[in-house]
Amino acid sequence: MCLEIMNENHRVVTLADDERQPCEVWTRVMGYHRPTSSFNLGKQSEYSERKYFVETGNLDRDASCPRH
């Protein structure tokens, strides 16, 4: 099986399975950054149930609000 991806020059790069590398995902937990692969079952479950913040709108719309 091959994977096709676009590089920074917008050219398609095809990789065979033996050329691919695993991607290690890190996340912040209790003030520390840790790889998700080291999580125990409870922490893995917590991680899968996380809700992510998505900002919508324009930050400049409330320009009248004082900044601290």
The mean pLDDT of 24-49, rounded to a whole number, is 90
Residue of higher predicted confidence among 18 and 61: 18
- Statement: residue 33 has pLDDT above 90: yes
Contacts of 36 (CB under 8 A, 6+ apart): 25, 26, 27, 44, 47
- Backbone dihedral region of 11: left (phi > 0), alpha (psi from -120 to 50 degrees) or beta? beta
Q: Please report, for residues 36, 40, 41, 54, the alpha-carbon distance to residue 48 in angstroms, rounded to integers and kept in the order given.
A: 10, 12, 11, 17
Band of pLDDT at residue 11, cut at 50, 70 and 90: confident
What pTM was computed for the model? 0.47
Contacts of 1 (CB under 8 A, 6+ apart): 17
The mean pLDDT of 15-34, rounded to a whole number, is 88
Quick one: pLDDT at residue 26? 93
- Statement: residue 56 has pLDDT above 90: no
